[in-house]
Structure 1
């Protein structure tokens, strides 16, 4: 029912007020309700006035909304036939149906918005699409009924706008742009041009910066000067797009206009960045001065000081001191301080010949502004800049000037000094300044950590743990304290408590490689290799190219007897760091054990390149050639080894045997050399056991037999060595057990016929 019908109905109610008393005389046993036109039924004929209304004292007239079943109501007996059927109100039925459809569309829009607010973006989009389908069905219904002029444009706008928003929230940018375009092009929607801002935002997300600029400017043309705040925000977006495009001059034009009309922190900071990008020193200074003059709009804290007399005021202050408004004010102040500090650190080296002079200028500007408390922080940052430049003396001088400042600044400066002296291994000074920082501010977690570190270095792990626990109690987000506490427990062999610390830390720092390694190491110490392997696998997912972690995994799999997995991780470690001798030795031994001596050769040859003065790697290469049946190559290798290490007994023994088997004439030569070397070795051993015995000059010139074998320009000496393929060959250092292999030559003694006469 439209508004016109509602008005008529109300007029009829007024006309017949007082005549609606109920008379049960005319009730029938069976009746039904029907939506029909209402017409008066007269019980007794009243005297009519000239206006057609009942007169005072006339008989009552009432509306009947029911029809009597089986007979027609006729109190005067004047009816000559059955009453005609009541006429149906089709128009009212259609209007009601349309209203129901409109309500359903509105409900779907509301459900879509609620779903988005709960994070269900896909469901929000589905609801928005369904609302669009039902709204189109509603339009068709109106067109078919001939009431197209009454189409609800507000509802159509709401449906399209919500659908565009949900497309954008689901990163379906082309579809969102199409929906916005339908609204913008429809002249019947007032103020639709503002939606070009939304379209520009989408182009910005797509990095289509020229189109973003175009649509921002089109939106700017659609908005009158009375909407100053909206125009400022659009111009700010235009400036940001110009920065992304590298057009700093155009960005500066936008930002300067905003700073002159309605300055704000973000624009002021961006303006400094643009001046820095083009290298304009003077304008950097001016922009910095403008930035520190931007009003924050924050109430003074003095207004909220409690009073001893007024209990009601104190209750109000207590209630509002941490409300949302105060939180917003603190966030705004923190943002301003962050912008100012970052801008000062950025421009200080650029605006003056030295960064120190630049910092001094910034400090002077800040001291005369509303951010006077930041001056001390800038001075500390100046000292930290000196530290980054390795100028420790200047840093120390600046930090020491804060010893007489207020407690907060004094604590910060002393904390930095303690850390600085710790890096220089001057733990006495570090301990002194850690105490100074704690005395200035006992609740400073960094000061407590530094104090704990100085105690940790002195191996007083119990006391160090107490300082770390206190630091963590003061600031539960201080991950350094929790990490160091875990290390302290580990040193104290309180492994379960250490594991608990690192597991808590892992919940905070999900991708910290150091934390995951500590957890794995603790599980290994707790003799739970499977858990250790599981955590190392997590660690590999974060740092897949760490060779030490791969080696550790290989060691654990090897100790568990899983040779294939151990080989895989050792091989991966070798790929990323091919100079680890332990890994090379393990891989070579693995191939020897699996009877692939040819493959082991390449690893031992690499070890020879890394440690050319260690004879054992070259002997391993020769042994691999011999075991693989390449005797000629083995002989050449042994001869080469003999040239480099002429007094190596093992090499000479293999040369004698190979020459004998191959029928070579050099056998007598090598046998003679072997005899001499063994005699020299015997004399050297006797000389070592008998003090005061005079040896020949030649023997005295040789180093003791217990010294490791190294090459020299004068003479190559032999060191005790067991052939890697012999019966006493040990597995590599990372292996869990020793292995032995039968060797053709290892246990053989030289016959008398092979020795020189």
Structure 2
């Protein structure tokens, strides 16, 4: 409350400035020449200081007062004051009650400045710490607990989750011992609650990291239920995350909402993240309407890319076309909060400035900006691919709508990628003409887009065996972007189809130099070396490719085939066994393995693989003929009849199959 202050009017009796002009004439040094008593004291021995018999140490003296006639005397003598105790002890006392820190008049006379008093002798030793005292033991134990918590966190960051959990448990045990010792020595109010909280929180985190979810939940419950821990309710977010990992979605939503209720509205970012978790949990439970409410609230308060993408997924799940369009527009409008590339362009030719700009271009902040932009482009492209086929009457119209929206946003460069995806969608629907027409629209675009479109056109014409058109578009792609590995690979394919294997290998190698991860170029180099009968080089290429693509059936078959050409059947059979483990129903690989065992004289193993091949593909004439001959050799002619009859059905014009059936009947009757 405000107090009432009353101001009284001024009067002559209560003058605020009364007494300011009053002064003691004793201190008036300007009229000393007219002071008879003072002049008499100066001219005679009256009032002079007596001679000093004992030598006084050089210490601070009283400040002199200047007289009108130029002589100097102490204020004490001029005022007739007796000597103070400080002067009698040999140390002159200054005028003020507080002595200056080390600055005395004696210092002006030649003594060293000594503010710490070191010239007076060494300082008294500090009191020795008693290591056996209870306070010191508690202090050391507390230090050890802090060290264990820190070591646990470091081990977790290094990936050693087991060691991190052990350190966290050890810290918990020592912290309980510390609490008991504190209770014995001091009052309960002096217990370090911050240390207890950090120990329990770290222990719960390490339990969760080691997927020991029940133990983590119990530890979090200990923290949450303790009323002495302030703001512990927000840890219910962590408990909700654990329930989400356990797929207990109802409890996860419950704990997320409890945490949301206990977090104040000023912490907007934390509340948005919790609501996003609630929305994701609703999506997992199939409650799309509730998820839509959560994500719509987020996009209206603090829009972000993840919430916008999840909102599109939710609308897609319920099939709301108009809401999908609005959500896509909201996703496009989310600010990226990254600097433009023009900021890093050097305004002059100063080499030092250029070096600084080059360093800024590749610093961690710039890398983070690139990652954020790449993530935004990924979300937008995925959302466009998802909704384009369903928001309009046809996917082409839907793609056109998405392209127009993207062109009017900050992601203009994504419009060309959407057009190329539209052409790929035409390919998936086997509409080659529309795909070609769509890709031909990019012939007048910039170099990168033109190269991508020409690469796809070259591939399409190559699939249709129109090698001249494929070669021309491959040349266009290479000329637009010489460092495009896909364009170089397609150009090599067109040359390979014309039989010029040496030149094709040059294009493949150039593509591999531009992009070492271009597995297509490496595979084609192996095929080229195989055509040129350079089996060692081909084997080396395919073995390198196998190190990259561990379970590629084509690579495994090529390695086995090269070992077969190198007349190493054991290695060939070993690689074919790996191939069968990847594709156990491949009848061609099974028949090939059966043929290798047959060439080695192992008829039983050969029969096993030939029979498996026949079971998966009963129309292979070579396999049927081998099985029929095998049964004839083992004198089971009645079993061989069914194979030759099947062969006669496959090749009815071949007379030999009927003759083989008749021969089998004759032999079986003879044996009977």
Q: TM-score range by the shorter chain?
A: 0.7 to 0.9
Q: Deviations over 1:672-714 (max 9, x none)?
A: xxxxxxxxxxxxxxxxxxxxxxxxxxxxxxxxxxxxxxxxxxx
Compute the displacement of 1:215 (Å): 0.8
C-alpha distance in 2 between matches for 1:492 and 1:60: 94
Match for residue 559 of structure 1? Answer: 599
C-alpha distance in 2 between matches for 1:397 and 1:495: 42
Correspondent of 1:474 among 484, 505, 514 = 514
Compute the displacement of 1:262 (Å): 0.8
Correspondent of 1:367 among 397, 407, 432 = 407
Q: Which moved more, 1:490-499 or 1:594-603?
A: 594-603
Evaluate the alpha carbon distance shift between residue 409 and residue 65 of structure 1 in structure 2; reply closer, same or farther with a 3 A threshold: closer
C-alpha distance in 1 between matches for 2:125 and 2:483: 84
**Is residue 249 from structure 1 mapped to residue 307 from structure 2 by the alignment?**
no
What RMSD in Å do the two structures reach over aligned CA positions? Answer: 2.8
**Is residue 177 from structure 1 mapped to residue 247 from structure 2 by the alignment?**
no
Correspondent of 2:469 among 413, 429, 432 = 429
Compute the displacement of 1:618 (Å): 5.5
Correspondent of 1:510 among 534, 550, 558 = 550
Evaluate the alpha carbon distance shift between residue 627 and residue 328 of structure 1 in structure 2; reply closer, same or farther with a 3 A threshold: same
Compute the displacement of 1:170 (Å): 1.9
Q: Deviations over 1:531-564 (max 9, x none)?
A: 2222222222222222222222222223233334
**Counterpart contact for 2:557–2:576, Cα < 8 Å:** yes
**Is residue 211 from structure 1 mapped to residue 263 from structure 2 by the alignment?**
no
Correspondent of 1:116 among 139, 156, 160 = 156
Match for residue 569 of structure 2? Answer: 529
Q: Which secondary structure does the structure 2 equivalent of 1:544 belong to?
A: coil
**Counterpart contact for 1:625–1:631, Cα < 8 Å:** no
Q: Deviations over 1:637-694 (max 9, x none)?
A: xxxxxxxxxxxxxxxxxxxxxxxxxxxxxxxxxxxxxxxxxxxxxxxxxxxxxxxxxx
Evaluate the alpha carbon distance shift between residue 146 and residue 416 of structure 1 in structure 2; reply closer, same or farther with a 3 A threshold: same
Evaluate the alpha carbon distance shift between residue 625 and residue 369 of structure 1 in structure 2; reply closer, same or farther with a 3 A threshold: same
Q: Deviations over 1:409-447 (max 9, x none)?
A: 111111111111111111111111111111111111111
Match for residue 26 of structure 1? Answer: none
**Is residue 289 from structure 1 mapped to residue 329 from structure 2 by the alignment?**
yes
Match for residue 568 of structure 1? Answer: 608
Mapping of 1:565-604 within 5 angstroms?
565-595=605-635, 600=640, 603-604=643-644
Structure 2 residues not aligned, in runs of 5+ = 1-119
Q: Which secondary structure does the structure 1 equivalent of 2:354 belong to?
A: helix
Q: Deviations over 1:219-259 (max 9, x none)?
A: 11111111111111111111111111111111111111111
Match for residue 464 of structure 1? Answer: 504
Evaluate the alpha carbon distance shift between residue 549 and residue 224 of structure 1 in structure 2; reply closer, same or farther with a 3 A threshold: same
C-alpha distance in 2 between matches for 1:490 and 1:186: 73
C-alpha distance in 2 between matches for 1:481 and 1:362: 34
Q: Which secondary structure does the structure 2 equivalent of 1:549 belong to?
A: helix
Match for residue 262 of structure 2? Answer: 222
Mapping of 1:325-344 within 5 angstroms?
325-344=365-384
**Counterpart contact for 2:309–2:379, Cα < 8 Å:** yes
Q: Which secondary structure does the structure 1 equivalent of 2:133 belong to?
A: helix
Mapping of 1:76-225 within 5 angstroms?
92-143=132-183, 148-225=188-265
Structure 1 residues not aligned, in runs of 5+ = 1-57, 67-87, 633-757
**Is residue 275 from structure 1 mapped to residue 349 from structure 2 by the alignment?**
no
Match for residue 318 of structure 1? Answer: 358
Evaluate the alpha carbon distance shift between residue 614 and residue 216 of structure 1 in structure 2; reply closer, same or farther with a 3 A threshold: same
Match for residue 414 of structure 1? Answer: 454
C-alpha distance in 2 between matches for 1:621 and 1:501: 48
C-alpha distance in 2 between matches for 1:612 and 1:561: 32
C-alpha distance in 2 between matches for 1:627 and 1:62: 122
C-alpha distance in 2 between matches for 1:276 and 1:64: 76
**Counterpart contact for 1:139–1:148, Cα < 8 Å:** no
Q: Deviations over 1:591-636 (max 9, x none)?
A: 444455565555555545655665555655565566567766xxxx
Compute the displacement of 1:277 (Å): 1.9
TM-score (norm 1): 0.68
**Counterpart contact for 1:307–1:314, Cα < 8 Å:** no
C-alpha distance in 2 between matches for 1:156 and 1:237: 29
